[in-house]
Amino acid sequence: MSNPLEKIDDYRWRIPKSYKPGMRVDGIIYADELLLKDIYRDKALEQVANVAFLPGIVNASLAMPDIHWGFGFPIGGVAATDIENGGVIAPGGIGYDINCGVRLLKTNLQYEDVKDKIKDLTCALFSNVPSGVGSKGDIRVSVKEERDILLKGAKWAVEKGYGTQDDLECCEEYGAIAGADPEAVSERAYERGKAQSGTLGSGNHFLEVQVIDQLYDQELSDAFGLDLGRVLVMIHSGSRGFGYQICDDYVRQMVHCLQKYNINVPDRQLVCSPVNSPEAKAYLGAMRCAANYAWANRQCLTHLARMSFEKIFNSSWQKLGMQLIYDVAHNIAKIEKYNINGKEKNLCVHRKGATRAFGPNHPALPDRYKKTGQPVIIPGDMGRNSYLLVGTKKAEEETFGSTCHGAGRLKSRTAASHSINLNALLKQLEAKGITVMASGKGTIVEEAPEAYKDVNEVVDVVHNAGISKRVARMRPLGVIKG
């Protein structure tokens, strides 16, 4: 695209709605000049402009600093539509891995307790947690149980003994979003999902043992019970083949909605339907099923991780202090209330490769996080850092309570596999004290640090822009990749 960007301030840039006839709002990109160089590498900015065509879109088509090209929406895209004024929902604004998300557990272990056992611990986790394309787990479910998962989410796993009530309180939507409709899910999706509960999946999904190497806010760190050298566990996974199939089904089904509802978008990947239409209601019901499937999945993975720690440290996970800090969704649409021009509106908020970031005292937060604001978990690549942040009131005012979700890819998987040497990469990671295990060597190369933006730069932008606030930085010790 020609360069349409206008600088608003050091961390925000505008694509004016005059850039393309048909844009209903401006595009707003959160980035600094350093990250803009990476953003220009693909057509993600063009996608930001395209999203601005959606009927009912409110305020702006937003993009976070980890933005890169995706299906329809850019990954790192946020858009809210006004339901009562023709606002639409677009499956491309959620993506194929519905509720791909991340959770963070703390432990009472310090680095000194773990450093000599990290290889054994990584091996135990790799052995216990099924990973890779098409991986199947030991947690098998019947057809009836699968439907229970779609309605109950993480609560299903807790009822099966794979966690506690505290785990549910520390999940976005308490681990299950209301309104799931198992009848809106195809048989093909059921078939793909039934053997994949409690599996990590492939690609950028991972389980990491991490250690805190920097604290930014002592009061917030104390509130979370965190200190330097403390060992944490991060789990990144989604709805597996189940969610992929639901997205695929509804992208195909909604093509006719463009003509039926007289919707004009510049990209067929932005197929959409008014939120109040029968087609949108069916998609929302199915999408919520996939979101609940993902929360149940991450709860099962948490159980498997806890069992692995118990084996290596010969102690119960409760004594090891393996409590969930929080679990956030990255690819989801939510119906949320916002004040728009002095009026409270019900909006359909699309977050694709973006994290909810509600500030202190938001009614959706559990009491334990009312004072701090919502925990925001930002994974980086396996060679650098990850972060714990908190949401802010400014995010609620500017970005529909949203912030970045990770580092963001720089190189495609194909480009990474052609340009990165596996042995050199493994030596580089080993020199940093990082143990990596994966179901295939190709995955390690595809997920090399060089394939990603530097998450430290991405987090600097959202922190300095005020849409989330740094609490702690972690570095990886042991990594399991799908």
Q: What's the pLDDT at 200?
A: 54
Active-site choice (256, 405, 418, 463): 405
Residue 135's pLDDT band, with cuts at 50, 70 and 90, is very low
Whole-number average pLDDT of the chain: 92
Give pTM, 2 decimals.
Answer: 0.94
157-171 residue pLDDT tens = 999 999 999 999 999
The number of angstroms, rounded, from the C-alpha of 397 to the middle of its chain's C-alpha atoms is 21
Q: What's the pLDDT at 459?
A: 97
Percent of the chain exceeding pLDDT 70 equals: 94
At CA 307, angle to CA 302 and CA 313, rounded to 5? 125
Torsion of CA 395, 398, 401, 406, to 10 degrees: -70
312-339 residue pLDDT tens = 999 999 999 999 999 999 999 999 999 9
Residue 422's pLDDT band, with cuts at 50, 70 and 90, is confident
37-54 residue pLDDT tens = 889 889 999 999 999 999
Q: What's the pLDDT at 133?
A: 39
For 114, 313, 371, 425, the CA distances from 121, given in Å and listed in that order, are 8, 9, 35, 21
223-241 residue pLDDT tens = 999 999 999 999 999 998 8
Lowest-pLDDT range of 102-111, 136-145, 289-298, 328-337:
136-145
Residue 444's pLDDT band, with cuts at 50, 70 and 90, is confident
Asked whether residue 197 carries a pLDDT value surpassing 60, the answer given is no
Burial class from Cβ neighbours inside 10 Å (0-12, 13-18, 19+) for residue 361 reads exposed
Residue 215 or residue 40, greater confidence: 215
Q: What does the pLDDT average to over 137-163?
A: 84
At CA 445, angle to CA 443 and CA 448, rounded to 5? 110
3.40.50.300, 3.50.50.60, 3.90.1860.10, 3.90.180.10: which CATH number matches 6-481?
3.90.1860.10
Q: Where exactly are the structural domains of the chain?
A: 6-481
Among positive and negative, which fits the CA dihedral 289, 367, 163, 468?
positive
Q: What is the spatial distance between Cα 291 and Cα 276, in angstroms, rounded to a whole number?
A: 20
- Is 362 annotated as catalytic? no
Lowest-pLDDT range of 289-293, 389-393, 406-410:
406-410
